[in-house]
């Protein structure tokens, strides 16, 4: 893989990993033009995006890890761990069953369209609820389950699924739901990346162009940092409607391209 393709894939990952538009879906589509990527490459560029979000939330993370004297901090951290544990256990089960992500564009396109419609409906329903910022046990459980659903169906988007599930089940404040979804995603994605790297090592080692991986990692980290910073400011005064419309339009265009034989 040349440096330009590595940089482009890193940028795509960085922009789409935490925006509610599906990173996996966009990367599967990008392979059509930029070539297939290895599992190790996927792990590395995802790690860049996770690092960016960790840097953005580092003060919040430190306050949660050191705030054992604060009942509210203990409760919040406990809910993160519950969601993470549910995802971890079910994720291992899915892996043991031999599940593999589909690589065809048509199901990804449908997931983008259906997910966009669902986002519009979910936000309309959430807007009728009282503004709440407290994470309940049901929200934590649902977010843990939602991460598995997003992992099994590329195109649904982990961030979109977790944010809107949280909003519908009582965490109706957009900023609060987004923060919880992202904080749960940090240990989840670190664990998934570590698991994949260990699996690669067990299967005979890692043979990669480390220079290209480094380029992809840097671009993923930088673009994810910018994208998430922008998103956190955007949602304070805007709904997720524009993302839903983008998903529907993009998914529809992909379906049209598949039907015309331009994509497979």
- The per-residue pLDDT for range 81-113, each reduced to its tens digit, is 999 999 999 999 988 887 766 678 898 899 999
Q: What is the DSSP letter of 181?
A: H
Segment 61-69 shows an average pLDDT of: 92
Q: What is the DSSP letter of 170?
A: T
Decide if 219 contacts 181 (C-beta within 8 A).
no
Look-up of token digits 């203990």: 74
For 25-73, give the secondary structure using H, E and C. HHHHHHHHHHCCCCHHHHHHHHHHHHHHHHHHCHHHHHHHHHCCCCHHH
Share of the chain above pLDDT 90, in %: 63
Backbone angles phi, psi at 101, to 5 degrees: -65, 135
Reported pTM: 0.92
For the chain, how many helices (H) and strands (E)? 11, 0
Give the C-alpha separation, 45 to 126, whole Å.
33
Residue 258, Cβ density class (10 Å: 0-12 exposed, 13-18 middle, ≥19 buried): middle
Please, which pLDDT band fits residue 39 given cuts at 50, 70 and 90? Answer: confident
Domain boundaries, the chain: 3-259
pLDDT digit string, tens, across residues 117-163: 999 999 999 889 999 999 999 999 999 999 999 988 888 899 999 99
pLDDT digit string, tens, across residues 195-226: 877 877 777 666 667 888 889 999 999 999 99
So what's the pLDDT on residue 235?
A: 93
């Amino acid at each position: 893989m040349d440096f330009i393709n590595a940089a482009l894939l890193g940028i795509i990952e960085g922009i789409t990993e935490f925006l509610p538009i599906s990173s996996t879906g966009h990367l599967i589509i990008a392979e059509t033009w930029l070539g297939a990527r290895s599992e190790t490459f996927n792990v590395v560029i995802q790690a860049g995006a996770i690092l960016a979000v960790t840097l953005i939330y580092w003060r919040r993370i430190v306050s949660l890890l050191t705030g054992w004297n604060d009942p509210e901090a203990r409760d919040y951290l406990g809910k993160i761990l519950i969601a993470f544990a549910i995802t971890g256990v079910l994720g291992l089960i899915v892996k043991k069953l031999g599940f593999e992500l589909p690589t065809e564009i048509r199901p990804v396109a449908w997931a983008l369209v259906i997910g966009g419609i669902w986002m519009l409906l979910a936000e309309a329903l959430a807007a009728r609820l009282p503004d709440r910022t407290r994470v309940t046990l049901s929200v934590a459980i649902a977010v843990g389950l939602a991460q598995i659903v997003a992992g099994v169906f590329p195109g649904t988007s982990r961030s979109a699924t977790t944010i809107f599930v949280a909003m519908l089940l009582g965490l109706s404040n957009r900023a609060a739901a987004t923060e919880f979804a992202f904080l749960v995603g940090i240990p989840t994605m670190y664990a998934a990346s570590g698991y994949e790297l260990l699996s690669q090592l067990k299967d005979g080692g890692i043979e990669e162009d480390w220079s290209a991986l480094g380029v992809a990692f840097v671009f993923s980290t930088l673009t994810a940092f910018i994208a998430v910073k922008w998103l956190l400011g955007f949602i304070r005064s805007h709904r997720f409607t524009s993302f839903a419309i983008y998903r529907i339009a993009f998914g529809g265009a992909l379906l049209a391209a598949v039907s015309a034989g331009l994509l497979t």
